[in-house]
Structure 1
Amino acid sequence: MEIYLLDHGPHSSLALPRQSGGMVRYKYCDWRWCVQGRRHPLSGTAALFWPTASGLGRGQHPDVDGREGLEKLAPEGISRVHPLKADAEKAMALKQRLDSHFEEADEEPTYNTEFAMAFVSYPSGYWLAHQSNLIIAQWLREMGFEVQSLPLSFAWRIVSTDEY
């Protein structure tokens, strides 16, 4: 199964195919930064050094099938697309786990047009040791990928993958 790691510069997200067609994008982020749009130095510093409220974002795009049209998934921009071959069963298990977090959320999702995603609260705080790229790396590991990372590393380097 083809999945996509979307590199947005300092942050990343993951796009998985939907069983009914199209793609769904997932993103983990600091609640104030992503959802509330509070992007100032104090908010950024707090998000790095103290656990802050976090959110899980989901954007469903039934009109995007595969690599063509991925820019529709991320209106905030994509620096680089990394297509990956994933085990279908493991990818669907991750998707089901992330979707169940939305279905079991205590609050109504908050939609953010900048990211074209709905967000719900995530139980783990966001900070340097639990930031977006590390969570994406964890999701990739759940699907069987080997990921080597450093907490301050904001660049993805794919060692072996099929080129498209």
Structure 2
Amino acid sequence: ALKRFAESLRAVHSNDYDYGAERIVAEEHRVQHHRQVFVSSVWEAEHPVVHVHPQTGERALLLGHFFKHLVGFSSRESARIFELLQNRAIQLENTVRWQWQQGDVVIWDNRSTQHYAVNDYGNQPRVVRRVTVEGEPAVAVDGSRSRTVSRPQPAGQQVA
């Protein structure tokens, strides 16, 4: 029943999220860099909560830190449903914890996984180079696709 319910849901995601909210120590210069680079242009998209992987046909939850709210639900209801589903995704048996060694490179497919860095590296430097490969929008079980909800306006243009 929960799977069928989740398959019927759509969620709005945005790149504008609180980068330092869950960090024990969020250095101001890193938070400022995040704002300048990552959210200088704010995007929102509507995605199916459950999408079908284009190569494998397997179904996966499309959640994570970019989640804002569920379409058709209040922010409070959205938060509770998100918590229920997100807790399924992050159960230990559904996760991989990488034991980093010098020279390691790790690649994952965001169409079927969710990246979550555990902030347990103290004052050691952490360098991430993120690459996004262009592809098709996520497709729901019913065949509907993700869609852009809002996009940044070019410099000098006003939003009507």
Q: State the TM-score, normalizing by the size of structure 1.
A: 0.27
Is the radius of gyration larger for structure 1 or structure 2?
2
